[in-house]
């Protein structure tokens, strides 16, 4: 392990080769669709910049983030491909977006009125994706009259242009969902209206990973891939019937920093919730809930050491947790909390299920205190340590 750039005994490994293969599989699966790689929230915890570069090199042509800051960060790091901010930005920042060639999402007429004033400050034209709410109930235009007003206003403005029109599915990850079908139909209807009004954006997009995996039908030419690009299934239901294998890119590792023998009755951690029944070997791992290794994972979670599953015992602390060892081991022994050792694997889905949540949340919550080690072409290519600004 190359320790350059970080000094702690806990790290996440991001296998960029797997992300690359996942994107390439999608390209084969949907040869006629452009791929927009969703790298918001630091690439779902995988590293936004590194994931973006890898996805773009593997067939993705556009990027998406949630907030303007994330888009600006990618521009600062030298990414020149199109980036869409999918959430509302403040109207006063439209010139900043335009100057950085960042596309924005619009779904309010008042926003457009305000933004028009601020666009006078810049020479550049603002690229807009109009967001339709077809049933997600989050943000988006719901009324055809509003769509008419907004799309014509943009179309007639010399300062902005409609680059895309999109919607988002609420239940694409459920095989039998009337809402999914309903949303698809509503979106197509609105696309037909736009056509009638003579508005012809470059991109029509609706699909997230789930809809892309199941090939949603319609006049769409772009898919927004998040979770599946990272190698995770959008739902347990879909995991059973994936059209091609997905490769999990994220793994989490630590090393034993202390070993001790407990006598019967000795207790472990806050609250003394674990008591040894017999003589037992216990190891300490330097990872805790401040790293995003959630307190609720114990009791229940196991880690891999020497390819064997060993249980976490007692309460997970802020920076450390304890594991029961099958026998005496040495300080420095590697522990895998998510990932593979020998023929044993702890999947993201196992951890999500123990934390009573979905796989999306687990890597997003692995905090910036955990350095990311990137593997490319089978070798460590880069380390990211936010604490030390590397």
Which residues does the annotation mark as catalytic?
Answer: 40, 270
208 lines the binding site for ligand PMH (CB under 6 A): yes
Tokens representing 266? 């000795």
Please, what is the end-to-end C-alpha distance for the chain in angstroms? 17
Q: Which of 8, 34, 127, 168 binds ligand PMH (CB under 6 A)?
A: 168
Question: Least distance to ligand PMH from the beta carbon of 82, Å?
Answer: 15
Question: Least distance to ligand PMH from the beta carbon of 317, Å?
Answer: 29
Question: Least distance to ligand PMH from the beta carbon of 143, Å?
Answer: 20
Q: Which of 8, 224, 253, 324 binds ligand PMH (CB under 6 A)?
A: 224
Instruction: Say how far apart CA 185 and CA 191 lie, in whole Å.
Output: 10
Question: Least distance to ligand PMH from the beta carbon of 210, Å?
Answer: 6
Q: How many CB atoms lie within 10 A of CB 138?
A: 11
Q: How many CB atoms lie within 10 A of CB 101?
A: 16
Tokens representing 18? 């797997």
Tokens representing 205? 């997009």
Binders in 294-313 for ligand PMH, by CB under 6 A: none
Q: Which stretch binds ligand PMH (CB under 6 A): 16-24, 221-229, 241-249, 267-275?
A: 221-229
Q: Which stretch binds ligand PMH (CB under 6 A): 3-11, 77-85, 202-210, 256-264?
A: 202-210
Beta partners for 274? Answer: 268
For residue 297, give the DSSP letter: G
Give 292 or 314: the residue with its C-beta nearer to ligand PMH.
Answer: 292
Give 140 or 339: the residue with its C-beta nearer to ligand PMH.
Answer: 140
Question: Least distance to ligand PMH from the beta carbon of 345, Å?
Answer: 22
Q: Are the beta carbons of 115 and 98 closer than 8 angstroms?
A: no
225 lines the binding site for ligand PMH (CB under 6 A): yes
Binders in 232-291 for ligand PMH, by CB under 6 A: 234
- Tell me how far CA of residue 192 lies from CA of 162, 186, 198, 286, in angstroms: 16, 10, 10, 57
Q: Are the beta carbons of 65 and 129 closer than 8 angstroms?
A: no
* 378 phi/psi in degrees, rounded to 5: 75, 0
Give 85 or 194: the residue with its C-beta nearer to ligand PMH.
Answer: 85
Binders in 21-40 for ligand PMH, by CB under 6 A: 38
Binders in 49-88 for ligand PMH, by CB under 6 A: 86
- Indicate left, alpha or beta for 27 from its phi (over 0: left) and psi (-120 to 50: alpha): alpha
Dihedral angle, C-alpha 60, 136, 171, 176, nearest 10 ° = -130
Binders in 82-111 for ligand PMH, by CB under 6 A: 86
DSSP-derived pairing of the beta strands 372-376 and 379-384 = antiparallel
Residue among 249, 299, 307, 246 nearest 273 (CA):
299
Dmax over Cα atoms in the chain, in whole Å?
A: 79
Binding mask 319-358 for ligand PMH (x = CB under 6 A): ----------------------------------------
Q: Are the beta carbons of 49 and 78 closer than 8 angstroms?
A: no
Q: Which of 220, 360, 373, 376 binds ligand PMH (CB under 6 A)?
A: 360
Instruction: Say how far apart CA 216 and CA 227 lie, in whole Å.
Output: 17
Give 131 or 324: the residue with its C-beta nearer to ligand PMH.
Answer: 131
Question: Least distance to ligand PMH from the beta carbon of 328, Å?
Answer: 44
Beta partners for 36? Answer: 62, 224
Give 88 or 295: the residue with its C-beta nearer to ligand PMH.
Answer: 88
Binding-site size for ligand PMH (CB under 6 A) equals: 13
Instruction: Say how far apart CA 167 and CA 184 lie, in whole Å.
Output: 9
10 lines the binding site for ligand PMH (CB under 6 A): no
Question: Least distance to ligand PMH from the beta carbon of 205, Å?
Answer: 8
Rounded to the nearest 5 degrees, what angle is found at the Cα of 125, between the Cα atoms of 117 and 53? 125
Q: Which of 82, 135, 226, 314 binds ligand PMH (CB under 6 A)?
A: 226
Instruction: Say how far apart CA 116 and CA 153 lie, in whole Å.
Output: 10
Give 74 or 287: the residue with its C-beta nearer to ligand PMH.
Answer: 74
Binders in 122-151 for ligand PMH, by CB under 6 A: none
Whose CB is nearest to ligand PMH? 226
Which residues sit at the interface with ligand PMH, rule CB under 6 A?
Answer: 38, 86, 168, 208-210, 224-228, 234, 360
């Amino acid at each position: 392990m190359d320790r350059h750039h970080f000094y702690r005994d806990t790290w996440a490994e991001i296998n960029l080769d797997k992300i690359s293969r996942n994107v390439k599989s999608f390209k084969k699966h949907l040869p006629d669709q452009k791929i927009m790689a969703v790298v918001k929230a630091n690439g779902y915890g995988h590293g936004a910049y590194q994931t973006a570069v890898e996805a773009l090199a593997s067939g993705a042509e556009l990027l998406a983030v949630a907030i303007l800051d994330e888009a600006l960060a990618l521009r600062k790091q030298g990414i020149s491909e199109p980036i869409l901010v999918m959430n509302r930005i403040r109207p006063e920042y439209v010139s900043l977006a335009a100057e950085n060639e960042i596309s924005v999402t619009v779904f309010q007429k008042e926003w457009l009125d305000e933004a028009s004033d601020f666009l006078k400050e810049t020479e550049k034209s603002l690229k807009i994706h109009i967001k339709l709410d077809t049933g997600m109930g989050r943000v988006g235009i719901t009324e055809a009259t509003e769509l008419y007003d907004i799309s014509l206003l943009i179309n007639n403005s010399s300062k902005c242009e409609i680059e895309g029109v999109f919607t988002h599915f609420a239940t694409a990850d459920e095989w039998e969902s009337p809402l999914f079908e309903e949303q698809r139909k509503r979106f197509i209807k609105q696309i037909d209206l736009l056509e009638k009004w003579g508005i012809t954006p470059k991109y029509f997009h609706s699909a997230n990973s789930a809809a892309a995996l199941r090939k949603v039908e319609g006049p769409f030419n772009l898919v927004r891939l998040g979770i599946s690009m990272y190698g995770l299934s959008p739902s347990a239901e879909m995991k059973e019937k994936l059209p091609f294998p997905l490769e999990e890119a994220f793994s989490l590792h630590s090393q034993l920093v202390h070993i001790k023998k407990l006598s019967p009755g000795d207790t472990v951690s806050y609250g003394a919730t674990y008591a040894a029944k017999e003589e037992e070997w216990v190891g300490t791992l330097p990872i805790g809930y401040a790293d995003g290794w959630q307190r609720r994972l114990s009791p229940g979670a196991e880690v891999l050491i020497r390819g064997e599953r060993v249980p976490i015992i007692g309460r997970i602390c802020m920076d450390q947790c304890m594991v029961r060892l099958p026998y005496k081991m040495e300080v420095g022994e590697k522990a895998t909390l998510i990932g593979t050792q020998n023929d044993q694997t702890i999947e993201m889905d196992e951890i999500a299920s123990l934390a009573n949540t979905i796989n999306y949340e687990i890597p997003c919550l692995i905090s910036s205190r955990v350095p990311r080690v990137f593997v490319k072409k089978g070798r460590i290519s880069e380390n990211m340590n936010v604490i030390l600004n590397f």
